[in-house]
Chain A
Amino acid sequence: MTKEITYLEAIREALQEEMRRDPKVFVLGEDVGPYGGAFGVTQGFVEEFGERRCLDTPISESAIIGISVGASLRGYRPVAEMQFGDFISCAFDQIVNQAATLRYRYGGRASVPIVVRAPCGGRVSGGLYHSQNTEAWFIHRPGLKVVAPSTPYDAKGLLKAAIRDDNPVIYMEHKYLYRRARGPVPQDDEEIVEIGVAATRREGDDITLLTYAAMVQPALEAADELAKEGVEVDVIDLRSLLPFDKAAIFRSVEKTGRVLIAHEDVKTLGIGAELSAVIVEERFDWLDAPVVRLTYPDTHCPFAPALENFNLPDAGKIAAALRRLAAY
C-alpha cells in the first residue's frame, strides 16, 4: 500500500531527501535549528545534518535572504524559511531587488538557486500577521518563480523541483493544510512536480474553476454539489502561479466557455485579475459568460473566527458562484 503522509511531513521529506542527495543544500531561518521550526518542519535536522546545514538565524528576515543569495553565488542551494509568510515583507528588498534581478544585471553569468519557504494562509485564527497570502507581491516580479501546492504529493514534488531549480522560487506552503491534508507522495528520488504545470483535479465540460492551495478542497466539494445539479465543473489546480500553465487553462476554457477563479488572496490585483485578463485577451471568442472571481474581500485577515469566516471563500460560496455562472 502506498504510504500516506501529511502535507507538513511531505515538506520535511523533500528537504531531507534533497539535503541527503546534494551537500550544497542547506536550510536557514528562525528557530529551524534544535527547536525544529515553529511548525516542526525541520525536526530532527540538526541531529542528521548538523547545525551548519540547519542554521538558526537571528530575527533578521532581510539578512536571511541576503545570506541565501550570497551562498547561492558560491554554488549552494539554500532553503530559507520565513517563519510566517507574513514576515516576508521584511525581506522584500532582498527578494525583489537582489535575488530577482541578479541574473539579468549579471548579463546571464550567474543564477540564484534559492528557495524561500513562506507558511501562508488563513482559517487558522492567526490574525493580521499570521494569515496573509502574499503571492501577488511576487508574481508581479520577473525573475522569480512562485508555487503553491495543495496536496502532500505536490508539496513534496514541487519543493524538490524548487530546490533543483536555478532561479529564486517562492514556495507558498499553506498552514491550514499542514496537518489536515494527507495523501501519497513521490517515492522515487527523481519524481518531482514540474514548476509551471497545472493539475486537473476533476473533469467537467460546463465550467472551468481555476484555483490553488487551500481553495482546491472546497472547490472540489462545491463541484460535487454542482454535479448533483447537472453541472460538471473542470477543477484546475494551478500549483504554479509564476509561471502559470496557460496551455492547461486555455484547453479548459475552450471546452467550457465559463470561468470561475477562486483564491484566498484579496481581490484587487490578485492573480485572479491576471488570469482573467489573459483569458479575455486570448480566448475571448470562446467565452459564454464574464470571467468571475471569488476571492477574499479587499481587507485584512481578522482574528475572530466569525470575522475570518466572513472573508474566506468556502465550498458554499464557491457553489453559489458556480450556480450563478451556470445560469448566466
Chain B
Amino acid sequence: MPSIKRTKFRLTNDQLLEILYWLKLIRAFDERLSVLVRQGKVRSGVYTGLGQEAIVVGTCYGLRREDYICPLHRDLGTFLMKGVEPGVMMAQMFAKATGLSKGRDSALHSGVPELGIFGNTSMLGSNLPVAAGIGLTFRMEQVDHVVIAYFGEGASNTGDFHEALNFAGVQRLPIVFICENNLYAYSVPFEKSMAIEDVAVRAQSYGFDGVAINGNDVLAVYQATQGAIRRARTGEGPTLLECKTYRWHGHSEHDKAFYRTDEELAMWRSRDPIPTFTTYLQHMNVLEPARLEEIDARINTTIDEAVTFAENSPEPEPTDAITDLYA
C-alpha cells in the first residue's frame, strides 16, 4: 500500500474551532435523533453516524459550493456542512412537508442540486456511478470542482462500486472516494465479507492510489482529503481514502448489535474523535473553557430550534403521495 502523501495544510484557530463545532453539532444531531426514535417521534430510517463524525467533518470541511458530495446513509452531517438548514434535515427525519422530500422518505434519500448534494437510494454503492457521472461533467467542462463519494466497506463488495471506480480510473475523474470502514455491514463483520485487510488496496485494480487512514482523527482525514482534492482539481484523477472507524450504535436505531462484544465497543469508544480533538485544541491553547461552553450552548440551541421547527411543521399533503413523479 502506498504511504500517505503528506499534504501541508494550515488552519487558523478559528477554523480549528469551526471543525470542533461541526464535530459536536453532528454528534448532537445524531444523539437527539436517537432519543427521538425512542420517544416514537421519528419512526424509522435513522442510521446514525455516531463515532464516525471525524470522517464527515474531515472530508467536507473547506469544500466549495460547486463541489458535489454523494454521501452514504450515515452521513447526515454532510448535508449540514454543505448548507442544508438543521431544521430542514430534522423535518426530513420527522417526515414533514418541510423536509427535503416533502415527507416521502425520512432518510438521506433526497438531494439538493444547487448545493451539490446527491442523496442516494437504499441500494448501497449505487451512488458511486452517479458520482462518476457528476465527475465526468466537471471534466467535460474543464472546471476544477471535485466530487466526494462515500461508501461503507460493505458497499465495496457491490458491482456498482467496481464499475464506478473502474470508470473513474479510466477517465481520471476528479473524485475522492471515501470508504467509511466501520467493520460491520449491518451484522456481518469485515473478515466475513472480504479476504483482504484493507479496502484501500482495491484502488490499485483501477489504476489510482488508495490509502488507509485513521478515520477517527479529524485532522488526519482532513489532511488526506486535501491531498486527494488537490490531485483531483489538477487533473491527476481519483483517490480512494479508506477511513478506519467504528459505529457506536447498531446498523439502525432498531438494531441492538448483539453481534459484537462490549469490549470491542468500549475500545472504540475510547478512540472517540471528539475528546481527542478537544484535548488537542486545549493542549495547543486554541480552546479556552469559556469558548467550549459557548460552542456547546450554540449547538444546543441549534438542535432545539431544529426539533421545534420539525415538530411545528405541517404534515405532508396526502395527495403529495402521487405528485412529483414526472417533470
Chain A residues close to B by CB (< 8 Å)? 26, 52, 57-58, 60, 62-76, 78, 93-94, 97-98, 101-111, 113, 142-143, 145, 166-167
Contacts and interface: CB of A to CB of B under 8 A. Distances in A.
A205 B193 CA distance: 64
A70 B130 contact: yes
25 contacts: A62-B159, A63-B164, A66-B163, A67-B133, A68-B133, A69-B133, A70-B130, A71-B137, A72-B133, A73-B113, A73-B134, A74-B113, A74-B137, A75-B137, A93-B123, A93-B126, A97-B121, A97-B122, A97-B123, A102-B111, A103-B326, A104-B104, A106-B112, A107-B101, A142-B325
Contacts of B121: 97-98, 101, 105
Given A105-B105, A107-B102, A67 B126 contact: no
A105 B100 CA distance: 8
B137 A76 contact: yes
A78 B326 CA distance: 18
Interface in B216-268: none
A70 B132 contact: yes
B136 interface: yes
A58 B102 contact: no
A106 B133 contact: no
Given A98-B126, A107-B104, A70 B133 contact: yes
Contacts of A108: 102, 323-324
A102 B133 CA distance: 15
A74 B68 CA distance: 10
A252 B103 CA distance: 41
A105 B132 contact: no
A58 B167 contact: yes
A67 B325 contact: no
A57 B111 CA distance: 27
Interface in B111-139: 111-113, 118-119, 121-123, 126, 128-137
Contacts of A110: 111, 113
Interface of B: 99-102, 104-105, 109-113, 118-119, 121-123, 126, 128-137, 140, 159-160, 163-164, 166-167, 170, 323-327
B129 A94 contact: yes
A57 B123 contact: no
A81 to B, nearest CB: 15
Contacts of B119: 105-106
Contact of B129 (A62, A72, A74, A103): A62
A62 B163 contact: yes
B326 A143 contact: yes
Given A66-B132, A98-B130, A60 B325 contact: no
Contacts of A74: 113, 134, 137
Contacts of A75: 137
Contact of B134 (A62, A70, A101): A70
Contact of A70 (B99, B129, B170, B325): B129
A96 B102 CA distance: 21
Contact of B118 (A58, A60, A70, A113): A70
Contacts of B163: 58, 60, 62-63, 66
A225 to B, nearest CB: 40
Nearest to A66: B129
Given A70-B118, A70-B131, A63 B160 contact: yes
Nearest to B160: A62
